[in-house]
Chains A and B, each alone.
Chain A
Amino acid sequence: MKKKIISIILCAAMLASAASAFAREIVHVSDWAYNDVSVFTSEDLITEGLADVSDYRQNITRGQFIELMCSVLIKTTQINKNYVHPSWYSYFEDIGDNYYYQLAIANYLVNGETLETETDEYGRESVTRARLRPDEPITRQDAAVLALTTLSRINFFRVQNYPVYSETEFDADGVALEIQYKPKLTYDDADSVADYAAHAVYALSDLGLMQGMGKNNFEPLGNITIEQAISLLYRIYRTYPHTDDPDGTGITADTEKTIKTYENGYTETKLGETLYLKKDGVSIPFDTDIYSNIYCSTTSDGNVYAAAQTYSDTTDIYNAATGELLVTIPAYTYMTDANYIYTKAAKSGKTAFGLYDYSGKEVIPAKYSLSEIDYMIKNGLKEPEYSRRAPDGWIYYADWSDGGHMYKVDSNGENKQKISDEDCYDISYYNGRLYYYIRGKDEGCLFTMLPDGSDVTKLSDGKCYGISSANFLTYEDGSPLSADDTQNKPYMFFLDSVGNDDSPSMFTYRFLYRLTYENGKAHKELVTDDCGSYNMVAAKDKSEKSWFYFTSAKMMTDNSSESYLYRTDGDVVECVNDKVKINYFFPITTTDGRTLFHIEGPYNEETKSHEYDYVADLDLNYIEEYDDEKWEYTVDGIKVKNVWTSNGDGSQSGRYVPIDPSDNEEFYKGEISGATKDDSLSDDMYSVYYDNKNGGMFYTSDPEGGERHQLLHGTSLSDVQRFGNKLYCFDNHDGDSLGSEGTIYSIDMDTGETKAICDGVYSTSYATDSAIVYIDTGLNYRRLDINTDTVSEVYPNSGKNRYGKPIEFWAPNGARNLTKLDEDGNLCDILTDDVYVRYMIYVPNGSNTEVDIDRYGAKYIAVSDVKAYRVG
């Protein structure tokens, strides 16, 4: 069976500078497209694939379209160019060395989807080769699909909030099918629009991003031309939330329309493609293919100035009364007032600021936050003094900007050193040593070295999984598991394929080693030569003795795809039960802390299913009933259910929680972190529910679950944080909760009073210790002080005030910067986005293990312990 999951593409983000200088030709464009094409070109968005094209009225190819889309996304999302790893696009046969294609595919794959998969006779899926077909033309409807899918993937809020006309239905076998309905298109040729493209055509048309071709026809099967594509992409570019929207771009001006009126009595109007600044019969024109924004101010001496922002990184200052060009300053303008022109270090997004005066003299360089600029203006332009903390630890990471080599940098972002020339991954730290795997020669082998890069020791002879991979050999705090802590001699295990297989999988490991140290030197001891478990499980038996559970590797040697469960304490290896064959198992942690196993029996090729599927205790004793459709188990008379929750780092995990069978609806009570039965707020734990069926948070003051009131849309349990007796939640107004513009609400758990605190929220991050919610609006940062429910603006300040705990800033498009917050909540770069860090760990001074770097992301907020309960 061959499954196609969308055609291709998905360009996202990621190059600091999109277009480089290359030879262009004078090009032919249609009159209607001139302004869009001209500005698009001025913004350096034209890509090399169009360098030799002299007529933009001709069809664009799929490859050229992808290049242009990537170019736009690179500029708007400002992501690092080093996001592409060869493994991400290696499935594609026809993309060659084209970086934009690689970028598109990389993003597609990184977001967890494959383009084409095949399912073999045993039901196993594998990714097959796919083709991009870059030289073929692209139809208008396919371009719409491509654009909508891409924009949705990068959390473009206007698209994300767009309704999808679909329903889930079930086929005869109970398999869920997503049925998408064709929205009602008003084009005369709507019937020609393919079902798969109808939603995209509708959405992009309704948003004004695509238009018909005249006579109310969309011409879905017509090929899109270069200038049409540029026009579409320019509209996307100028409306992306991280990009400043030029003046009047949303105004169709066949007749003159007013854009804004200034306090000094000047008005700004638009007619055709020209902006005018007007007062008392004087009209100063500004062509919109040269200028993006106009700012008008009257200074204290009575002169009136117009600051006109060009597309070429400069601002022209005019005498607004005469139209005389006075001076050009080499900076972007953010705003003007009676004394200064406020400049920006970068054209768009979250950036630093400076000042020029109206004579064109730089007063303050653009490297401060707005609050710092305000401080400096009030204090005679004196730079604020900052106290700095000593670095409190080291960050270790692989730098994909430099071949994956390992670096260390202190927590102030200083003293950076390269400590390995290998392409490293899965870095961890324990007891004064770093552990990591490498690519290339000795691919997948486990190494260790001292933090200064010395005493490099190869630990495994073949590819292996171990310490940090899948977190299965470490405690939750990052320290290694030991089978018996009482030995007070912690050791690590790792699995070594020892050349058994070039591509080890969960079935091919053999050799389980124990790693100990003596006088600083590593010693490995063979525990068993028959370990086939990639997902080894640590659990204590009834006598509180710790064991590692694993399956034999013999399932591969006798080709039976089955095995028995074994366990080891590091010294002894014993078979748990030689009667129950296991194809696969994974642990279930119940809310009372017990570990159970979900067991899948041998795979039956005739029935195409596993022979049994049940829950057992550590001795493989069968646990009552199991409903595999609902993922519900009954344990000791209590029904439990698997509920998926966000872990805050982009991953999800299942939690098994008790449910009340008397409730037939899909309501789950939200238990907020820290609340226990002994809390004074225990009754209030019945206050907030997550409706798994319909989505959204509900509130009820009735512990029995009655009087439900829907509060928030698109909100998940992980979007809820408790401070005192208040819950803070994020509502994205019916859009997807990831990266959409929304509102933060507070809910008083005593009274049920719900209050909107802050609108325009793009993402949130909670600092529970200091009772602060950090807010990203897409254009700037704000902070919400919980105690007063007041919101104030904060800005990055170009690396000043670098103290506090390092955090990983995880932008909606997947970009990661290493940064931290200063005392005012400013984000301060430790490693900026010109460095692409991966596998980073943070080792505080004096710690013998790494600690997680907090995620400060657009997608997930820092909620650590939210559980879900069904309500009765």
Chain B
Amino acid sequence: MKRKIFAALLIAALAAPAAAYAAPVSEGEFAALPLGTSKSDVHASLGNPETASVNGVKEVYRLTDGGKAVLIYSGGHTYFGFIVH
């Protein structure tokens, strides 16, 4: 059985901080990201997300204007994304 075990067990679940140093990204930078990008390329382009779900399908980025942006993955690639106002 394949198991994914994350560090922060009791916090667990789906809104666990992925990296405390995640820097905000600009709206334009985020919007320019083509859907279908692999997760590693996303991280290379935008840096680490502010939060990520335990099952790895959702990442939330903080925007430089204080807003947030959400990426949803399918099969390891971005499937759709939102800039939330």
Contacts and interface: CB of A to CB of B under 8 A. Distances in A.
Contact of B57 (A31, A34, A290): A290
Contact of B12 (A26, A27, A322): A322
Interface residue tally on A, bucketed by range: 35 or more
A42 interface: yes
A284 interface: yes
Contacts of A325: 3-6, 54-55
Contacts of B72: 38, 41-42, 289
A96 B74 CA distance: 34
A641 B75 CA distance: 68
A322 B12 CA distance: 7
Interface string A18-50: 000001111111110010011001100000000
Contacts of B81: 26-27
B55 A284 contact: no
B84 interface: yes
A312 B1 contact: no
B44 interface: no
A359 B57 contact: no
A237 to B, nearest CB: 17
Nearest to B36: A23
B15 A26 contact: no
A324 B69 CA distance: 26
A42 B80 CA distance: 9
A322 B9 contact: yes
B39 to A, nearest CB: 15
Contact of B82 (A23, A34, A312): A34
A290 B12 contact: no
Contacts, number: 104
Listed residue (A30, A41, A290, A291) with the most chain B CB atoms within 10 angstroms of its CB? A290
Interface in A328-355: 328
Listed residue (A274, A285, A322, A359) with the most chain B CB atoms within 10 angstroms of its CB? A285
A24 B80 contact: yes
Contact of B35 (A25, A285, A318): A25
A675 interface: no
Contacts of A282: 10
A286 interface: yes
Interface string A796-830: 00000000000000000000000000000000000
A451 interface: no
A327 B74 contact: no
B70 A34 contact: yes
Interface string A835-869: 00000000000000000000000000000000000
Interface string B31-66: 101010000000000000000011101100000000
Interface residue tally on B, bucketed by range: 20 to 34
A136 B21 CA distance: 47
Given A24-B35, A312-B57, A312-B74, A324 B83 contact: no
Interface in A609-659: none
A324 B58 contact: no
Contacts of B31: 25-26, 54
Nearest to A328: B55
A290 B51 CA distance: 14
Given A290-B55, A323-B9, A323-B10, A27 B15 contact: no
B85 A28 contact: yes
Given A24-B35, A286-B14, A324 B9 contact: yes
A34 B82 CA distance: 8
A274 B15 contact: yes
Contacts of B69: 26
A284 B85 contact: no
A324 B55 contact: no
Given A29-B82, A328-B55, A318 B12 contact: yes
Contacts of B4: 325
B53 A287 contact: yes
Contact of A29 (B1, B5, B12, B83): B83
Contacts of A287: 14-15, 53, 58
B72 to A, nearest CB: 7
A261 to B, nearest CB: 19
A26 B85 contact: no
Given A29-B83, A327-B1, A289 B12 contact: no
Contacts of B53: 287, 290
B84 A31 contact: yes
Contacts of A23: 35
Given A34-B70, A287-B15, A290-B53, A359 B1 contact: yes
Given A37-B82, A284-B13, A323 B54 contact: yes
A377 interface: no
Interface string A691-704: 00000000000000
Contacts of A24: 35, 80
A316 interface: yes
A285 to B, nearest CB: 4
A286 B69 CA distance: 19
B84 A34 contact: yes
A286 B33 CA distance: 27
A323 B35 contact: no
A284 B82 contact: no
A289 B13 contact: no
Contacts of B3: 324-327
Nearest to B15: A285
A327 B2 contact: yes
A323 B85 contact: no
Contacts of A478: none
A310 interface: yes
A333 to B, nearest CB: 15
Given A26-B80, A324-B3, 13 more contacts: A25-B31, A25-B35, A26-B30, A29-B84, A37-B82, A41-B72, A284-B13, A285-B13, A310-B57, A318-B12, A324-B5, A324-B9, A325-B3
Interface of A: 23-31, 34, 37-38, 41-42, 54, 57, 274, 282, 284-287, 289-291, 310, 312, 316, 318, 322-328, 359-360
6 contacts: A23-B35, A28-B82, A274-B14, A310-B57, A322-B12, A359-B1
